[in-house]
């Protein structure tokens, strides 16, 4: 067995004494010396033997001691590549440990061989002071164990080349695994999006991760050692947070949503999970808290829920929430045997206002209308917006059907006062309301809504700003409307439209100055349909643009024919719908038609209804100015039925005002009409406008108006609308003298 140097074997050298190195002078001396030598050799042998035995014993003890600490002794023969090592087994009976000897490449994992060799090379070349590496070695059971190997040269040749290396090996598989897991855990914690905090038994922060610092806005030094109550929000009282901590402490777990407060005071909604970790060995406790910032997510959820149920413009329930509430109301009414009403409400001429005032103002009107509506019916009733300018009210617990009508009337009255758009602007708008009742009309929400809608259309047809209760005949009317709308599409191709003309009489001096062209539709299937019925349908479908252009051209053609019969000072008035004014190039159309037909522009007057003009004076004024530039006259039709004031109209480049028949009807006896009409005349004159009174049916009305300075009249007293030929004949034969005196009763309407 080779010599083992324990302390520093690298510097020790083995020196054997060779006998040939000795010289002796005489035989006796030689013998004596030989004897002495033998004695010395024997003694030396004995002492060497004892010495070696002691060393061996020490070495075995050392190996055992090492074995006991988990370290394994090994030694490696550089020349043969053979590695001798102690096995991990228990020592045998005489206290000796088992050993084996293998070529090193059979022992070390192939993947780690390169590392083992390189480390060895560096050590042998003197680049490192000792051999040290971590490699996998066969564990004897077919697996691999990570070992940390350390060693140094224990034998060198005379040139100092290392012959053998000896050292220890320690199985580090378990610590290596643990360290690896610790490193992974640390990396995960660092890179986690969730905030993680570890707290001691008293809920004081022991450790936090970067996400925690990011979410709370604190630095590590500001939180470590501080109580978790540092983050308590004001959304809950402190008892609430204490309760959670007590519960987590008792049940080792708490999870839920929790408001917390950032350093900058901002509130943070967190989804939080708290777990208690107890050490098995001692009683020490740690609380691990993991949380996520879900403030934004919650906000988005709430917004989505809100969007799904509420109208964003008015904040009223939308169609889907209305259906839900209506269904529940029906169930309640059924159970309690009560009655409920659905009010379907549509703002009159909202589209015109929206088109002319602009959408921003339209939105403000809708918001203001929503507020007015809810205030009128009270918070206890559901008010919903179905879209556009359509609103629905659900009235529960009605005593009688009349209650619904009473509330509908209250709503209409409430809209008499103008809506405030902003500091400066006010707009008046009226609703038309349809009413359906449970259980009288229908049993299910969709039917009730449909019937209320139908009734609302009837309210519109009845002149707007009113309400109607549903009845079965209405469905018929709605169907008719649909057929009319279908038939209207073919009306121009089939030549079913024609114009009639109603003369206008100038009062001083008495003279027929012009005619108003009025549209007539005679349908072979549906008979004569009055304009009040089909014009709104034509407006809805946009057909009015085509129809309107036809009317304009036809009226000009008729006027041109009359002019050729000598009526060359005659004017023609043509009614224009808001759609024509706002869409497309109507100015261009008018200019072209006048040109084509050869009518001087000053002979054409366009009639626009008041509601069209009142909405947006500025924008409309621009368009109207273009007509004035063309030389065309402009009249306000049905004056007094809208909400415009004369002062307001002053800003518009109009030339004529046509007082609505409603203000003429009561003349001369109705005090109100008798006061209003002369006022309109006087004010219009002060603005330089001509005044025409419409719907004059009696001589008394004519006289009253003539005496108050009204410029012109139009109405059945003079003549009903006539077809072109009859009208020409009427105008030619008309004489001022007889007419002004004779008739007191309206003329029979001529065919
Ligand atoms: P409007 O422009 O105010 O026309 C006057 C309406 O009053 C006409 O009804 C006329 O027949 C009627 N009327 C005239 N004098 C009297 C009278 O003394 N007593 C009574 N009770 N009624 C009288 P019509 O022809 O049914 O027209 C209704 C409305 O339809 C018109 O009112 C006008 O706004 C619209 N309209 C007619 N033709 C056209 C058209 O070509 N285009 C457009 N956009 N609208 C038209
Ligand atoms: Mg008119
Ligand atoms: Mg009119």
Superfamily of structural domain 311-471 = Reverse transcriptase/Diguanylate cyclase domain (3.30.70.270)
The third-level CATH classification (topology) of the domain covering 500-749 is: TIM Barrel (3.20.20)
* Mean of all residue pLDDT scores within the chain: 86
With contact defined as beta carbons under 8 Å apart, do 272 and 244 qualify?
no
- 737 vs 510: CA distance, rounded Å: 9
- Percent of the chain topping pLDDT 90: 51
With 0-12 / 13-18 / 19 or more C-beta atoms within 10 angstroms meaning exposed / middle / buried, residue 678 is: middle
Is the beta carbon of 458 within 6 A of some atom in ligand 1?
A: no
* Position 473 confidence tier, pLDDT thresholds 50, 70, 90: confident
Phi, then psi, of 94 in degrees rounded to 5: -90, 20
284-288, 361-365, 525-529: least confidently modelled range = 525-529
Centre of ligand 3 to C-alpha 463, Å, is 14
With 0-12 / 13-18 / 19 or more C-beta atoms within 10 angstroms meaning exposed / middle / buried, residue 124 is: middle
- Percent of the chain topping pLDDT 70: 91
Q: Which ligand is nearest to the CA of 502?
A: 1
Q: Which H or E element spans position 692? A: strand 690-693
pLDDT, residue 35, reads 73
Is the beta carbon of 638 within 6 A of some atom in ligand 1?
A: yes
Class of domain 195-299: alpha beta
* Position 644 confidence tier, pLDDT thresholds 50, 70, 90: low
Centre of ligand 2 to C-alpha 663, Å, is 15
For 280-310, the pLDDT digits (tens) are 776 788 999 999 999 999 888 888 888 889 9
pLDDT, residue 25, reads 55
* Position 635 confidence tier, pLDDT thresholds 50, 70, 90: very high
For 565-588, the pLDDT digits (tens) are 889 899 999 999 877 887 778 899
pLDDT, residue 378, reads 93
Question: Secondary structure of 557-585 in the HEC alphabet?
Answer: HHHHHHHHCCCCCCEEEEEECHHHHHCCC
- Positive or negative: CA dihedral 103, 108, 113, 116: negative
Tokens representing residue 227 in the block: 């109580």
More reliable by pLDDT, 174 or 32: 174
pLDDT, residue 576, reads 93
pLDDT, residue 412, reads 93
Centre of ligand 2 to C-alpha 695, Å, is 11
pLDDT, residue 732, reads 92
pLDDT, residue 646, reads 65
- 308 vs 324: CA distance, rounded Å: 12
Among 496, 528, 575, 747, which residue has the most ligand 1 atoms within 8 Å of its CB, making it the best to mutate?
A: 575
Map out the domains of the chain as residue ranges.
Answer: 1-69, 71-176, 195-299, 311-471, 500-749
DSSP string, 251-308: HSEEEEEEEEE-TTS-EEEEEEEEEEEE-SSS--EEEEEEEEE-HHHHHHHHHHHHHH
More reliable by pLDDT, 427 or 447: 447
Is the beta carbon of 292 within 6 A of some atom in ligand 1?
A: no
Q: Does the structure show a pLDDT above 80 at 649?
A: no
Edge-to-edge strand list for the sheet holding 339-347:
382-387, 390-398, 339-347, 431-438, 467-469
The answer to whether the 71-176 and 311-471 domains have the same CATH topology is no
Is the beta carbon of 532 within 6 A of some atom in ligand 1?
A: yes
Is the beta carbon of 575 within 6 A of some atom in ligand 1?
A: yes
Cross-strand partners of 75: 84, 166
Look up residue 100 and give its DSSP letter.
E
- 418 vs 427: CA distance, rounded Å: 5
714 dihedral zone (left: phi>0; alpha: psi -120 to 50; beta): beta
Centre of ligand 3 to C-alpha 661, Å, is 7
DSSP reduced 3-state for 500: strand
Determine the atom of ligand 1 nearest the C-alpha atom of 519.
Answer: 38
CATH label, 71-176, candidates 1.20.1280.50, 2.60.40.10, 1.10.10.10, 3.30.450.20:
3.30.450.20
For range 111-132, the mean pLDDT: 91
* Position 710 confidence tier, pLDDT thresholds 50, 70, 90: very high
């Amino acid at each position: 067995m080779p010599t083992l140097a324990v302390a520093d074997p690298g510097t020790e050298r083995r020196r054997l004494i060779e006998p040939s190195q000795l010289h002796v002078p005489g035989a006796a001396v030689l013998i004596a010396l030989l004897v002495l030598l033998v004695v010395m050799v024997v003694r030396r042998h004995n002492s060497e033997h004892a010495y070696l035995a002691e060393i061996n014993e020490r070495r075995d003890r050392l190996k055992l001691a090492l074995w006991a600490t988990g370290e394994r002794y090994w030694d490696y023969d550089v020349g043969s590549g053979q590695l001798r090592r102690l096995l991990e087994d228990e020592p045998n009976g005489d206290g000796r440990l088992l050993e084996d000897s293998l070529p090193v490449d059979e022992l070390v994992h192939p993947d780690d061989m390169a590392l083992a060799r390189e480390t060895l090379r560096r050590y042998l070349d003197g680049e490192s002071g000792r051999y040290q590496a971590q490699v996998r070695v066969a564990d004897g059971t077919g697996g691999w164990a990570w070992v940390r190997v350390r060693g140094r040269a224990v034998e060198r040749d005379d040139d100092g080349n290392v012959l053998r290396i000896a050292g220890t090996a320690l199985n580090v598989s378990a610590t290596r695994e643990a360290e690896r897991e610790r490193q992974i855990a640390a990396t995960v914690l660092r890179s986690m999006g969730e905030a993680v905090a570890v707290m001691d038994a008293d809920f004081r922060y022991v450790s936090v991760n970067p996400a925690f610092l990011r979410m709370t806005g604190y630095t590590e030094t500001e939180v470590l050692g501080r109580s978790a109550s540092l983050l308590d929000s004001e959304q809950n009282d402190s008892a609430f947070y204490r309760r959670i901590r007590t519960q987590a402490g008792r049940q080792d777990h708490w999870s839920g949503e929790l408001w917390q407060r950032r350093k900058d005071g901002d509130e943070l909604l967190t989804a939080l999970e708290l777990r208690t970790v107890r050490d098995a060995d001692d009683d020490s406790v740690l609380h691990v808290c993991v949380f996520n910032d879900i403030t934004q997510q919650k906000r988005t959820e709430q917004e989505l829920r809100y969007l799904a149920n509420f109208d964003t413009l008015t904040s009223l329930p939308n169609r889907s929430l209305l259906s839900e509430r209506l269904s529940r109301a029906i169930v309640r009414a059924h159970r309690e045997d009560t009655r409920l009403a659905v009010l379907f409400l549509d703002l009159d001429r909202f589209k015109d206002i929206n088109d002319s005032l602009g959408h921003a103002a339209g939105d403000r009107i809708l918001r203001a209308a929503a507020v007015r509506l809810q205030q009128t019916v009270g918070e206890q009733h559901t008010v919903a917006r179905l879209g556009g300018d359509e609103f629905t009210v659900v009235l529960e617990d009605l005593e009688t059907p009349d209650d619904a009508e009473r509330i509908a009337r209250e709503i209409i009255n409430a809209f008499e006062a103008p809506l405030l758009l902003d500091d400066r602007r006010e707009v008046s708008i009226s609703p038309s309301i349809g009413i359906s009742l449970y259980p009288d009309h229908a049993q299910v929400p969709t039917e009730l809504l449909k019937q209320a809608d139908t009734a609302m259309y009837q309210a519109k047809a009845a002149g707007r700003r009113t309400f109607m209760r549903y009845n079965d005949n209405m469905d018929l009317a709605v169907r008719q409307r649909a057929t009319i709308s279908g038939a209207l599409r073919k009306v121009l191709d089939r030549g079913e439209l024609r114009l009639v003309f109603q003369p206008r009489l100038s009062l001083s001096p008495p003279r027929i100055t012009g005619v108003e062209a009025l549209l007539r539709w005679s349908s072979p299937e549906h008979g004569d349909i009055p304009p009040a019925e089909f014009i709104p349908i034509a407006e809805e479908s946009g057909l009015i643009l085509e129809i309107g252009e036809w009317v304009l051209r036809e009226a000009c053609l008729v006027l041109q024919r009359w002019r050729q019969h000598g009526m060359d000072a005659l004017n023609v008035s043509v009614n224009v719908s808001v759609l024509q004014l706002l869409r497309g190039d109507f100015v261009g159309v008018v200019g072209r038609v006048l040109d084509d037909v050869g009518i001087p522009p000053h002979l054409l007057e366009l009639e626009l209804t008041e509601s069209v003009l009142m909405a947006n004076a500025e924008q409309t004024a621009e368009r109207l100015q273009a007509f004035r530039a063309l030389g065309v006259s402009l009249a306000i039709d049905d004056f007094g039925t809208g909400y415009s004031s004369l002062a307001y109209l002053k800003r518009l480049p109009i030339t004529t005002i046509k007082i609505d028949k409603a203000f003429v009807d009561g003349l001369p006896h109705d005090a109100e009409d008798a006061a209003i009409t002369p006022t309109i005349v006087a004010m219009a004159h002060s603005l330089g406008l001509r005044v025409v009174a419409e719907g004059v049916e009696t001589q008394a009305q004519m006289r009253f108006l003539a005496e108050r300075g009204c410029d012109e009249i139009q109405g059945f007293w003079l003549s009903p609308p006539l077809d072109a030929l009859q009208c020409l004949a009427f105008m030619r034969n008309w004489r001022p003298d007889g007419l002004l005196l004779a008739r007191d009763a309206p003329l029979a309407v001529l065919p």
